[in-house]
A and B are shown apart, each in its own frame.
Chain A
Amino acid sequence: DSGVTQTPKHLITATGQRVTLRCSPRSGDLSVYWYQQSLDQGLQFLIHYYNGEERAKGNILERFSAQQFPDLHSELNLSSLELGDSALYFCASSVQPNQPQHFGDGTRLSIL
């Protein structure tokens, strides 16, 4: 158990819909990261937040957005969903940005 909690574990929805994925970091970790894992793209970095502030963006679509709240949990919002958004979405956390990242078990998103 990494201590990073992601909910829900599975999400099934339809094209055009909007979903929210939630992540609770390990106790004491200030940094939260989101990654997407798909068969064709592999593991791709999406975004990094540190203590509520966005620090870096990777290959994140404009239809996707994230935020980190004062209690340090984070949410990833995906809108206008397309079939290609079906993937496993991971959250990771670390104490500081230059420390190793610890991953949650992921949310599997299936778009029908």
Chain B
Amino acid sequence: AQSVTQPDIHITVSEGASLELRCNYSYGATPYLFWYVQSPGQGLQLLLKYFSGDTLVQGIKGFEAEFKRSQSSFNLRKPSVHWSDAAEYFCAVGLFSGGYNKLIFGAGTRLAVHP
């Protein structure tokens, strides 16, 4: 069965430090992969997506992610974290089949940023 694992429930970093959030997926075919961010009281905002092609994808707010098929991973990175990046981050795999589409989400990683 398809699944997404985010091993880190909580991560705390200092402002200005680099960030890497881990995501591993289980899916038989080539996956469509996404990272979303959810700020308190807000909906989910799409940070970036991977469908095919270049395995390093750039997103909004200075985020990037790298697809590694051999490791079944799609880790999210940012070179320098800002206090406004404190939020919950969700990795998801998209299942497109027969004209339908659904996202399978990981449990999320809550990011805290220290000044």
Q: Please give the residue numbers on chain A whose beta carbons come within 8 Å of chain B beta carbons, in ascending order.
A: 2, 4, 31, 33, 35, 42-45, 48, 50, 55-56, 58, 90, 92, 94, 97-98, 100-106
* B74 interface contact, C-beta 8 A: no
B36 interface residue, CB < 8 Å from A? Answer: yes
* CB-defined contacts of A45 to chain B, threshold 8 Å: 102-104
Q: Is the CB of B43 within 8 A of A97?
A: no
Alpha-carbon separation in the docked complex, A92 to B96 (Å): 15
Question: How far apart sit A105 and B100, CA to CA, in the bound complex (Å)?
Answer: 23
**Best-surrounded residue of B32, B43, B96, B99 (most CB of chain A within 10 A):** B43
The distance in angstroms between the C-alpha atoms of A85 and B34, with both chains bound, is 27
Once the chains bind, are B44 and A97 in contact (CB under 8 Å)?
no
Which residue of chain B is the closest to A56 with respect to CB atoms?
Answer: B100
Most chain A beta carbons < 10 A, residue from B90, B100, B107: B100
Distance in Å from the Cβ of B73 to the closest Cβ of chain A? Answer: 20
Say if the beta carbon of B45 comes within 8 Å of chain A: yes
B56: Cβ under 8 A from any A Cβ: no
Min CB–CB distance B29 → chain A (angstroms): 13
